[in-house]
Structures are given as C-alpha cells and as structure tokens.
Amino acid sequence: MTDIKHPDDCRSMLDVRAGVDATDRELMALLDRRFGYMRAAARIKPSRDSVRDEKRKAAVIDAARAEAESRGLPAEAIADLWDKLVEASIAYEFEEWDRTRRS
C-alpha cells in the first residue's frame, strides 16, 4: 500500500493503525514462510525423535534476544515471544511429521 507511512512520519492514529495492520499482514506472510520450513523439516528429518532439538531452540531464542537488544527493542519480551513461536513451530512440525508418515 502506498499510503502506509513510516512510523516517524505518522501524524494520526489512523496512520499508526494502518501501519500496524500492514505490518501484521507482513508478519503473517513471514510466519507462513517460517511454518513452511517446519513442513520441510518434518519431511526431511529421519526420525520423530529428531524433531525436538533443545540446543537449536536455545540458539534461536538467544539470537532473537541479541537481535532485539541490538535494535533497542525489549529483549526479554521478544525472547518470550520467540519461545512461544519456537514451541508452536515444534508442535506443528510434530503434527506434520506424523501426518506425512501415516499408513
């Protein structure tokens, strides 16, 4: 949309809300792609036991926390969001792993 303003250029709550709504749509598209990678992982991983990887989970959350800190964002709140995102991704990957291997 061409009428979406950069946050620094917003002059009304209508501007802000339009920007938030557009950003939410972009986030949904990114989540769609991320969960597509979970489908790919479910297809590629050889065993159900390999779906949950706590070391990888910690690395992803730590990376999100560090990126948030570098951007001046609330790092712990974002780390909490990422924990929920990763857990939802793992649950989805388990569902996909099971679905693709049903007899």
Q: Residue 82 is part of a domain; what is its CATH number?
A: 1.20.59.10
Predicted local confidence at residue 21, as pLDDT: 98
User: Is 17 marked as binding a ligand?
Assistant: yes
Residue 52 lies inside a defined structural domain of this protein? yes
Domain count, the chain: 1
Residue 2 lies inside a defined structural domain of this protein? no
Q: Is residue 102's pLDDT more than 90?
A: no
User: Is 54 marked as binding a ligand?
Assistant: no
CA dihedral (69, 59, 27, 3) in degrees, to 10, reads: 30
Residue 26 lies inside a defined structural domain of this protein? yes
Residue 1 lies inside a defined structural domain of this protein? no
List Cβ neighbours of 47 (8 Å cut-off, separation of 6 or more).
none
Q: Are 4 and 18 in contact (CB under 8 A)?
A: yes
Predicted local confidence at residue 10, as pLDDT: 97
Q: Which domain holds residue 20?
A: 7-100
Residue 72 lies inside a defined structural domain of this protein? yes
Question: pLDDT tens digits for 13-68?
Answer: 999 999 999 999 999 999 999 999 999 999 999 999 999 999 999 999 999 999 99
Residue 86 lies inside a defined structural domain of this protein? yes
Q: Give the C-alpha separation, 56 to 17, whole Å.
A: 35
Q: How confident is the model at residue 103 (pLDDT cuts 50, 70, 90)?
A: low
